Chains A and B, each alone.
Chain A
Amino acid sequence: MRRDPPPPIYTTRSGIPLKAAYGPDDVPADHRAVMGGLPGEPPFHRGGFPQGYRTKPWRIFQLSGFGKPEDENERIKFLLKNGETGFLMEHDRNTADHLYNVDHPDVVARREDVGQTGAVMQSIREVAITLDGIPIESTYGHAGGGVVQHGPFALAAYWSVARRRGIDLAGLAGTGQSDFFLTYLGCVTKQQVPTAAGLRLNADIIEFCAEHLPKWVPVSIAGYNGGDTGLNGYQELGAVIANAIEYLDEVRRRGRMDMTAAASRVGGVNFRTTMDIFEDAAKLRAARKMWCRLLRERYGVTDERALRMRIHIVTSGSMMAYQQPINNIVRGTLMALSAVLGGTQSLGVSGYDEAISIPSEHAHQMAVRIQQILQHETNITAVADPLGGSYYIEALTAELERRGWEFAEEIAGRGGFLATLDSGWLHARARDNQVAEQQAENDGRRIVVGVTDFRDDVSPFEIDGFPGVSDAYEVARARLDEVRRERHEAGAHAAVKRLERACRGTENIMPVMMEALGAEVTLGEIGDVFRSVWGDWQTPELV
């Protein structure tokens, strides 16, 4: 029931109480002690680099993909032509996230959905089509594989295509994802390897990259997916730290890498920014400071390059409104501004049609243009950490850090990040906030323009959304048949057996995964191996 708004309570979006103005006494003493430091100096709250964006502008890096591999290829080229400076290659969620081929009954039952959020790529052939003509030797690429069990396939396929082109993997720059937040918290699949198996896969990828792909970010911890599921700013910080601890402890336990190298590998992290511009800019400052402290104190890392967290930001998709969607161009701009004020290294802006469909060409172009306008017209890139020294921002940075550590410790007390995913404890924290935020909009305590207030009954919809293509399923079926018909069957069979042995044992699965891709083993067959070896994650009650 909509009521008269209660007297305003001033807090950040995460609920941190706010004063009307800030002064020197609001910055706690321990934070004040590092306030005089400069950008590029540990603990890096002021930014990772002394010259800020003068050294290197942030990477314009948009999620992209739909339809057939040809459609995705065309969209990636469109974005690069428009000025994107790295590309993200999305795989179809129905098939990729579940490691199903397109003829799996669960996919057939939803065949029109196939290709909605990324191209179907069941074998190396389809990955090669998606990457056709894209200069991956000189363009930073995200291979897909956001979901943990899909990471090894997506990476091995991308790297195999690179090898076939004669590219030396040692020089290949890009990133994987294999994100626990997406997989086990934000977008919970129908079928998934258990978290312990997921941790093993990620540790294999980290070690494989250390040996063969020094310029590749093996996995990316995506706090975004915790944030947009409901975790607030300091919970996102604490959970990212808790996630990093699982990865780094595992790598240390395996004992094959030194911790400086491991820290550098795991140091590419993703957060979200929301419409609370200052809280989220402060969140990025707090994140870098926490990262530096974690590595120094828990892992004894001293190398300054390894202590520096590199941040990728995606602006919050859930802030994008369905009603009056053109307003979202403003929201995207403001959230991008927050990311830049916080010193991000890389940025993706949600499409203005986010609440309606995957991005149209125009929405995608706007997302790139927003970033170009910020980079070239606002002078914002001239000075590093422009908010540094503001009493408000420094107090907020310190408070987010304090609460972030508290949340990380609470997770540790409950057995660690994986345990709180397995038990559903993290989901419950997200759920509490989801409900509270929706209630606040419902009863008038939070205003969303065009949604809760300032509504426009005359013309409720200004855009139709992007429909995608209708032939992704049929083409994927035909390509699957083609691979099965044309591949060397005994070779593929042997590669599947090798993969299964590797999964059951302790050797790194990535070399065998590369062999399997080379032998044209398909996505669904790899899924069958994973399912037979590890079974299915026991999903906690979400709702």
Chain B
Amino acid sequence: MSNAARILLVKTALDGHWRGLSVVARALRDAGFHVIMGGMLTGAEIVRAAVDEDVDLVGLNVGGHVQVVERVLGELRAARPDLPVFAGGVLPPASCKRLGALGVECYPPGSSLDDIVAAARRLTGHLAKP
């Protein structure tokens, strides 16, 4: 397990619904990933957690507007330009499109756990530790 890729899951909004995050975290853990739960964090806090925990992938649970996610992404990219990011949560189609253009894969409600786990494998693949 010590070689498992490390995934930081955070909430970008001050909205405490945790059901979606919970099932995704469980699926990723069951698939062998090391999942770190960051809670509700600001952009600066996410950067700190990503660096401190030396993670290979960040998962953003979105419960608010896409502009907040874009700002978080900007801060994250400035600090760790190569760190892959994917997102889930309440993401209207237009938000998915905007985030997709920024290289963030989106998994809105109804996405299958298999697809999310496959994405995590693919996104961390080139970073997998020996």
Cβ contacts B99-119/A at 8 Å (1 or 0 each)? 000000000111011100000
**Which of A110-118, A337-345, A520-528 lies at the interface?**
A110-118
- The distance in angstroms between the C-alpha atoms of A452 and B111, with both chains bound, is 9
- The distance in angstroms between the C-alpha atoms of A135 and B117, with both chains bound, is 52
Instruction: Tell me if A355 counts as interface (CB < 8 A to partner B).
Output: yes
- The distance in angstroms between the C-alpha atoms of A460 and B15, with both chains bound, is 27
Report the nearest A residue to B35, measured CB to CB.
Answer: A543
Instruction: Tell me if A438 counts as interface (CB < 8 A to partner B).
Output: yes
Instruction: Tell me if B90 counts as interface (CB < 8 A to partner A).
Output: yes
Instruction: Tell me if A106 counts as interface (CB < 8 A to partner B).
Output: yes
Q: Which of B1-49 contact A (CB under 8 A)?
A: 9, 12-19, 21-23, 25-27, 37, 39-40, 42-44
A110-B68, A112-B64, A465-B93 known; A355 and B42 CB under 8 Å? Answer: no
From residue A157, how far is it (CB to closest CB) to chain B in Å? 21
Residues of A within 8 A of B65 (CB): 112-113, 116, 468
From residue A503, how far is it (CB to closest CB) to chain B in Å? 24
Instruction: Tell me if A439 counts as interface (CB < 8 A to partner B).
Output: yes
**Which of A93-101, A240-248, A361-369, A414-422 lies at the interface?**
A93-101
- The distance in angstroms between the C-alpha atoms of A190 and B17, with both chains bound, is 11
- The distance in angstroms between the C-alpha atoms of A1 and B27, with both chains bound, is 12
Residues of B within 8 A of A1 (CB): 114
Contact B90 A110 (CB under 8 A): no
Instruction: Tell me if B74 counts as interface (CB < 8 A to partner A).
Output: no
Q: Which of A411-444 contact B (CB under 8 A)?
A: 430-431, 434-435, 438-439, 441-442
Partner of B39, one of A187, A190, A431, A452: A190
A112-B64, A116-B65, A465-B92 known; A434 and B114 CB under 8 Å? Answer: no
A106-B42, A321-B110 known; A435 and B14 CB under 8 Å? Answer: no
Contact B110 A323 (CB under 8 A): yes
Contact B13 A110 (CB under 8 A): yes
Q: Which of A513-543 contact B (CB under 8 A)?
A: 542-543
- The distance in angstroms between the C-alpha atoms of A350 and B82, with both chains bound, is 40
Report the nearest A residue to B42, measured CB to CB.
Answer: A109
From residue A59, how far is it (CB to closest CB) to chain B in Å? 26
Residues of chain B at interface, number, CB under 8 A: 36
Contact A93 B15 (CB under 8 A): yes
Partner of A435, one of B26, B39, B67: B26
Contact B19 A464 (CB under 8 A): no
Instruction: Tell me if A451 counts as interface (CB < 8 A to partner B).
Output: yes
Cβ contacts A328-361/B at 8 Å (1 or 0 each)? 0000000000000000000000000001110000
From residue A257, how far is it (CB to closest CB) to chain B in Å? 32
Partner of A442, one of B64, B94, B114: B114
Contact B22 A434 (CB under 8 A): yes
Instruction: Tell me if A189 counts as interface (CB < 8 A to partner B).
Output: yes
Contact A464 B16 (CB under 8 A): no
Q: A112-B64, A356-B108 are in contact. List 16 more A-B contacts (CB 8 A).
A: A106-B14, A112-B68, A116-B13, A187-B15, A190-B39, A190-B40, A321-B110, A355-B90, A355-B109, A356-B93, A434-B23, A442-B112, A442-B114, A542-B18, A542-B37, A543-B37
Pull 22 A–B residue pairs with CB atoms less than 8 Å apart, ordered by A.
A98-B14, A107-B14, A110-B13, A110-B42, A112-B67, A187-B17, A188-B16, A188-B18, A189-B14, A189-B16, A190-B16, A190-B39, A190-B40, A322-B108, A431-B22, A435-B22, A442-B113, A465-B93, A542-B22, A543-B22, A543-B25, A543-B37
Report which A residues bind B (CB closer than 8 A). Answer: 1-2, 93-94, 97-98, 105-107, 109-113, 116-117, 186-190, 228-230, 318, 321-323, 355-357, 430-431, 434-435, 438-439, 441-442, 448, 451-452, 460-461, 464-465, 467-468, 542-543
Q: What are the 10 closest A-B residue pairs judged by CB atoms, nearest first?
A: A113-B64, A465-B92, A109-B42, A112-B67, A322-B109, A188-B16, A112-B65, A187-B16, A461-B93, A438-B23
